Amino acid sequence: MTDQRRPLYLHVGCSKTGTSSLQAGLWMSVEALAAEGIGLPFVGRPAHIGGLLRPLGWRPVAGFAGEHRPKALRQVPATIRDTAGAVLLASNEDLAEVRPEDVAAVAGLLDEAGVDLHVVLTVRDWAQQLPSDYQQFLKHRLAESYPDFLDNVRDRRGEWAEQFWRRQDPVDILDRWGRAADPSRTHLVVVPSYSQDPDGVFTLMGSVVGFDSAAVTRPKGSVNASFGVVESEVFRRLNLALGDRLPDYKRDYTEAVRKPFAHGVLARSASPRLTLPPEHLGWVQDLAGRTVATIRERGYRVHGDLDALVPDESKARPLPSYDEAAVAEASITALANYAAHVGRSRSV
């Protein structure tokens, strides 16, 4: 009699669907989850990057653009086998952007490890995702204005639009991962907004994987909170002014800009939030409706309200206005905060 293969639930995105809060909670709750029979093969983002992403050819910002590293990939089955638990869970939103050859590699490694792959995709409606991902791209050196970004995404024009669709189009993501998991082992989780239900992503993930969500420690506040419209414009203009300076993203830009500006230098939610302007609602609704129909036809296992992916008129609001004085004030505040940050860094 052979041992039954364990399921491994691989949460592959989408980004900006509560992934940062969920992952922080999971990684703070390893022992509590173990008591529930859940094992985490990779604990912490560095473990995911070093143990799986980089071996698959992933690089910051560029994504899965490099060659596979066979020697490093050979360590994955052992890591999986050595992880205790009746059920295994790994979560990394960068996996939404994999290439077909990456999916094939992952499927082979997990089969060698003796586990059955279940793919989990968390999604939100694009009225939330468009402004949220725009702000995420600002941390990747995006210098386009928000209105230009929306036009380019609608028209699927340019590298930033291409990246948005690669990591936010559920049908495309599920097409790629469908090479490794059929619809019966593919879970689509519709996550409510954090403001409506901060526990939603924890509760739904627990129901999918099979653990009591109360076992997961909740991080304090929103782990990856949004910038306001003014602060987003300050970040955009900073990227524009930098141009080609700080060319090495990880060594230069991340340390000098992304980390300090994302963690205190630039105020969070100090001004009104970015919105989906009403003039973009029509194409978003049309595409979302077709996406929902495709998901239903294919028979994926849906958790949450699938129809919530189609935003209604209440989700579209004119962009908040701001003037140059507000941008200047926010810029000076950020400059003062940055000076204080540098001073503290040197005193450590």
Cβ-count burial 243-280 (b if 16+ within 10 Å, e if not):
eeeeeebeeebbeebbebbbeebbbeeebebbbbbeeb
What local confidence, expressed as pLDDT, does residue 2 receive? 45
Q: For residue 119, give the 3-state DSSP assignment.
A: strand
CATH number for 7-126+161-215 (one of 3.40.50, 1.25.40, 1.10.260, 1.10.4100): it is 3.40.50
pTM of the entire predicted model: 0.94
What 128-132 contacts at long range (C-beta under 8 Å, 24+ apart), as own/partner pairs, is 128/16, 128/193, 128/315, 129/14, 129/16, 129/17, 129/168, 130/164, 130/276, 130/280, 130/284, 131/226, 131/273, 131/274, 131/275, 131/276, 132/16, 132/226
Which residue positions in the chain have pLDDT lower than 50? Answer: 1-2
What local confidence, expressed as pLDDT, does residue 174 receive? 97
Q: Count other C-beta atoms under 10 Å from residue 115's C-beta.
A: 22
Inter-residue contact 132 to 224 (CB < 8 Å):
no
User: What are the sequence ranges of the domains in the chain?
Assistant: 7-126+161-215
**319 vs 294: CA distance, rounded Å:** 31
Six-digit token pair at 180? 């490794």
pLDDT tens-digit readout, 133-173: 999 999 999 999 999 999 999 999 999 999 999 999 999 99
Torsion of CA 221, 224, 225, 230, to 10 degrees: 160
